[in-house]
């Protein structure tokens, strides 16, 4: 497994691989790798000849009060995990990736305003800008992102489409801990009593899925039941629980019809830092199919 730190060298390597007619599958990450990231590696492997992972804790997607300093950076363990999973190349630039002052931004407008965008101004602009830089550095054919960050995936798909990137943006399913909590590097930062309450998110998704399966279509009634389930985790502070249309993320209609995204963000106490919290997100697409939309048997 090759490890490259300079953008120019990565671009040369990408040109060579492309010149040989081989395809590149890219998995952009901020490190602290877990089984969720490794499932993205597997997905990239099924779509491309070479799998490249990028590891860069991108400062431009963290707000001033967010956990940039606390964000885990276990570089050696990350490289070991990549090697063991058969990754061909790791791109791990240092802070000079944004060298010389940075003035150019890529901003996907409306899609990034609600949900996480409302509470984290500038976050998605940081993500879309760094992913643009990574696409231009690694020149991938395919790039894989997790569906846990549903809004990020939607924004990156839209960016690739709007800017004519010749990159297939692929989503990979959420990977969960045995108790249902979605895998995230941030789970490690939770206070232990908060970690015990974190399954409230997946329980709320299950409740909503059951209600919709049993025929409930009222957006407000479903959200009321979701909020009641989340409230059972008394250490959690809900940032949002929303039903939205999955592609453009417009608010869902009063009566659901067709696929609808249920997206959640909840803050729990962190194990370190007086008053610090860890923000967990989760989501599920609910299939509110009306009788007229059902496939005839």
Which residues are marked as active site?
37
- Per DSSP, the three-state class of 80 is helix
132 forms part of the interface with ligand PAF (CB under 6 A): no
131 binds ligand PAF per the rule CB under 6 A: yes
The answer to whether residue 149 forms part of the interface with ligand PAF (CB under 6 A) is yes
DSSP 60: G
Rounded CA gap, 55 and 30, in Å?
5
DSSP H or E segment with residue 7? helix 7-19
Selected from 89, 127, 169, 264, the binder of ligand PAF by CB under 6 A is 127
* Least spacing, CB of residue 293 vs ligand PAF, in Å: 33
Is residue 67 a contact residue for ligand PAF (CB under 6 A)?
no
What single string gives the DSSP state of each residue in 133-196? HHHHHH--SEEEEETTSHHHHHHHHHHHHHTT-S-EEEEE---B-TTSPBP-GGGGGB-HHHHH
Asked if 29 interacts with ligand PAF (CB under 6 A), we say: yes
Q: Which of 61, 129, 197, 283 binds ligand PAF (CB under 6 A)?
A: 61
Alpha-carbon span 86 to 170, nearest angstrom: 20
Nearer to ligand PAF, 134 or 202 (CB): 134
* Euclidean distance between CA atoms 166 and 136, whole angstroms: 11
Token pair of 193 as six digits: 């009593």
- Greatest CA span in the chain, whole angstroms? 62
- CB closer to ligand PAF out of 30 and 212: 30
Look up tokens 């106490």; give the residue.
269
Cβ closer to ligand PAF: 126 or 269?
126
Name, in order, each residue with C-beta under 8 angstroms of 198's C-beta and a sequence gap of 6 or more.
179, 181, 187, 190, 233, 268, 280
Which of these ranges, 26-34, 100-108, 164-172, 281-289, lies near ligand PAF under the rule CB under 6 A?
Answer: 26-34
Q: Which positions from 102 through 121 interact with ligand PAF, judged by CB under 6 A?
A: none
Pick 243 or 265: Cβ nearer ligand PAF = 265
Binds ligand PAF by CB under 6 A, chosen from 58, 112, 129, 277: 58
- For residue 266, the minimal CB distance to ligand PAF (Å) is 18
Segment interacting with ligand PAF, rule: CB under 6 A, options 28-36, 80-88, 264-272, 275-283: 28-36
* Residue 167 in contact with ligand PAF, rule: CB under 6 A: no
Residue ranges that bind ligand PAF, judged by CB under 6 A: 28-30, 58, 61, 127, 130-131, 149, 152
């Amino acid at each position: 497994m090759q490890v490259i730190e300079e953008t120019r060298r990565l671009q040369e390597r990408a040109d060579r691989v492309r010149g040989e007619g081989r395809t590149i599958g890219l998995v952009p990450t901020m490190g602290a790798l877990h089984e969720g990231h490794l499932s993205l590696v597997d997905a990239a492997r099924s779509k491309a000849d070479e799998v490249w992972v990028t590891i860069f804790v991108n400062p431009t997607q963290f707000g001033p009060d967010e956990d940039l300093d606390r964000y885990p950076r276990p570089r050696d363990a990350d490289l070991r995990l990549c090697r063991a999973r058969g990754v061909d190349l790791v791109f791990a630039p240092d802070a000079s990736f944004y060298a010389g002052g940075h003035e150019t931004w890529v901003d996907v407008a409306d899609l990034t305003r609600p949900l996480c965008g409302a509470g984290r101004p500038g976050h998605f602009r940081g993500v879309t800008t760094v992913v643009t830089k990574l696409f231009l550095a690694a020149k991938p054919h395919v790039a894989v992102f997790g569906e846990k960050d549903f809004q990020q995936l939607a924004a990156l798909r839209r960016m690739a489409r709007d800017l004519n990137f010749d990159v297939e943006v692929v989503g990979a399913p959420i990977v969960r801990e045995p108790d249902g909590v979605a895998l995230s590097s941030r789970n490690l930062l939770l206070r232990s009593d908060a970690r015990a309450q974190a399954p409230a998110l997946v329980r709320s998704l299950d409740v909503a899925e059951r209600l919709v399966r049993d025929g409930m279509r009222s957006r407000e009634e479903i959200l009321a039941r979701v909020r009641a389930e989340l409230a059972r985790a008394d250490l959690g502070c809900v940032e949002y629980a929303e039903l939205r249309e999955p592609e453009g993320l417009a608010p869902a209609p009063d009566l659901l019809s067709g696929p609808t995204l249920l997206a959640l963000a909840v803050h729990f106490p962190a194990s370190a830092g007086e008053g610090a919290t860890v923000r967990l997100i989760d989501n599920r697409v609910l299939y509110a199919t009306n009788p007229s939309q059902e496939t005839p048997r």
